[in-house]
């Protein structure tokens, strides 16, 4: 009972957060700051997860995967160097506490709690790194904060020299920390003579299902991409007692990973429903409420295996979401350097996921490139038959933190 009371209290906080971010009544900066300070970091990150996913999704009609956790972590490191209006805009957009010392401490505790659970059973790896210009005066306080709260590795380089070699070094680091799944994150031409810092996050997840699908039961079936289009794909099958819920608008099924610390939530809109419209209305509060409604019951599951890779440049999207100053000559990163001549040039994100009978392998990396401002910018009780586009999320269960999320439009399209 205690757990349920805490969860419902969380609903109240999250509802207020949703209203604060989209309501017509404008709260004062002090009210916003106090509210964000008192809202658990996992709820704020989930709110950002749905914001960023819904910002990307309308222009993306294909299969999709992102790691909002990776994006948020890379930007949290960048936020440590922000001040003034730049910091305020980033805090509002990313749901960060404006009190830097308090925020980075709580973010670090949250990140390390998730990491400890993942590392205990060798399911999850998280790594951060900074690649600063060797002769540029970064503040010691900024670098110390990166070490203390983010465990960042430091690799001093010279962007005025062989940038192709530096690009390959950064990409090799990403490849190593994503089990070779994310290659060539930074493309030729991204690094310039004016680059002063690259901040990188990498996350890798690998786990078997708690209840595996029987490979011998996998069978061909029809997946309805739309009313006009179908694809013949292999469907995995199981029949077991699983956490499940059903409403008039959707079905939701939780598939646990070994150990019970992580799970995948598969959300299937009702037949003839519009996936994109559904996702637009399915926010962080809906996610939390859905988790609360899940009950163990017998379910017959038909789920296509899928493999997806997505890559995005996020700088224009993040600017449009409410933090434009960070990408302009108005940027204030004076907590990063006494020269205060830096701005964000690129926010590059790539994610990969492979879901099969045994389990899931997923990886993502986010790089924030900082440059000088002068630069250019049968039917049992329930049947869960995912034979039409659906939405999925991977979460850490105790905090309900979203690590990966995406949609499957056509499982016949396999990522490389």
pLDDT at 176 > cutoff 50: yes
Q: What is the mean pLDDT of residues 263-278?
A: 91
pLDDT at 242 > cutoff 80: yes
Token pair 């059903």 is at which residue? Answer: 246
pLDDT at 21 > cutoff 80: no
Where is pLDDT greater, at 340 or 255? Answer: 255
The rounded distance, in Å, linking the Cα atoms of 71 and 321 is 14
pLDDT at 260 > cutoff 50: yes
In the CATH scheme, what is the homologous superfamily, with its name and number, of domain 1-416? Antithrombin, subunit I, domain 2 (3.30.497.10)
Query: How far is it between the farthest Cα atoms of the chain?
Result: 68
pLDDT digits (tens, 9 = 90+) for 30-68: 655 665 667 889 999 999 999 999 999 976 678 999 999
Q: What is the mean pLDDT of residues 99-122?
A: 92
pLDDT at 305 > cutoff 90: yes
Residue 38: CB atoms within 10 Å: 9
What pLDDT is recorded for position 415? 82
pLDDT digits (tens, 9 = 90+) for 200-221: 999 999 999 999 999 999 999 9
Query: In this predicted structure, which of 116-120, 181-185, 307-311, 322-326 has the lowest mean pLDDT?
Result: 116-120
The rounded distance, in Å, linking the Cα atoms of 147 and 142 is 9
- Domain coordinates of the chain in residue numbers? 1-416
Query: In this predicted structure, which of 28-37, 115-124, 203-212, 322-331 has the lowest mean pLDDT?
Result: 28-37
pLDDT level of residue 5 (50, 70, 90 thresholds)? very low
Bridge partners of 308?
353
pLDDT level of residue 136 (50, 70, 90 thresholds)? very high
pTM metric for this prediction: 0.89
The rounded distance, in Å, linking the Cα atoms of 10 and 394 is 20
Helix (H, G, I), strand (E, B) or coil at 70: helix
Average pLDDT, the chain: 89
Question: Is the C-alpha dihedral spanning 329, 198, 313, 148 positive or negative?
Answer: negative
What pLDDT is recorded for position 376? 45
pLDDT level of residue 381 (50, 70, 90 thresholds)? low
Q: What is the mean pLDDT of residues 365-390?
A: 80
């Amino acid at each position: 009972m205690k757990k349920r009371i805490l969860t419902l209290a969380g609903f109240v906080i999250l509802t207020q957060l949703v209203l604060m971010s989209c309501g017509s009544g404008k709260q004062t900066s002090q009210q916003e700051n106090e509210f964000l300070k008192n809202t658990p970091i996992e709820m704020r990150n989930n709110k950002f997860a749905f914001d960023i996913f819904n910002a990307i999704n309308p222009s993306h009609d294909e299969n999709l995967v992102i790691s909002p956790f990776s994006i948020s972590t890379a930007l949290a490191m960048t936020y440590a160097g922000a001040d003034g209006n730049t910091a305020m805009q980033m805090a509002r957009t990313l749901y960060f506490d404006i009190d830097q010392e308090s925020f980075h401490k709580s973010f670090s505790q949250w990140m390390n709690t998730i990491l400890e659970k993942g590392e205990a059973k060798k399911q999850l790896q998280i790594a951060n790194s900074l690649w600063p210009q060797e002769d540029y005066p970064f503040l010691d306080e900024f670098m110390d904060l990166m070490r203390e709260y983010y465990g960042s590795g430091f690799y001093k380089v010279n962007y005025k020299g062989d940038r192709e070699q530096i690009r390959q070094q950064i990409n090799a680091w990403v490849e190593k920390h994503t089990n070779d799944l994310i290659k060539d994150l930074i493309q030729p031409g991204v690094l310039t003579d004016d680059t002063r810092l690259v901040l990188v996050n990498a996350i890798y997840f690998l786990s078997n299902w708690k209840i595996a699908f029987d490979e011998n039961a996998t069978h061909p079936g029809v997946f309805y991409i739309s009313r006009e289009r179908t694809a013949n794909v292999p469907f995995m099958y199981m029949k077991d007692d699983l956490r499940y819920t059903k409403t008039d608008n959707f079905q939701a099924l939780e598939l646990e990973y070994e150990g019970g610390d992580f799970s995948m939530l598969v959300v299937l809109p009702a037949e003839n429903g519009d996936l994109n419209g559904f996702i637009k209305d399915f926010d962080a509060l809906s996610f939390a409420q859905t988790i609360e409604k899940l009950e163990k019951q017998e379910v017959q599951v038909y789920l296509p295996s899928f493999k997806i890779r997505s890559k995005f440049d996020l700088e224009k999207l993040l600017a449009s979401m409410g933090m434009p100053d960070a990408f302009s000559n108005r940027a204030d990163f004076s907590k990063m350097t006494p020269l205060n001549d830096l701005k964000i040039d690129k926010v590059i994100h790539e994610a990969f996921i492979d879901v099969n009978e045994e389990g899931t392998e997923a990886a993502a990396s986010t790089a924030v490139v900082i440059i000088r401002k002068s630069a250019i910018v049968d039917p049992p009780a329930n049947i869960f038959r995912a034979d039409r586009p659906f939405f999925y999320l991977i979460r850490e269960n105790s905090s309900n933190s979203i690590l990966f999320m995406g949609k499957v439009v056509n499982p016949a399209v396999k990522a490389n």
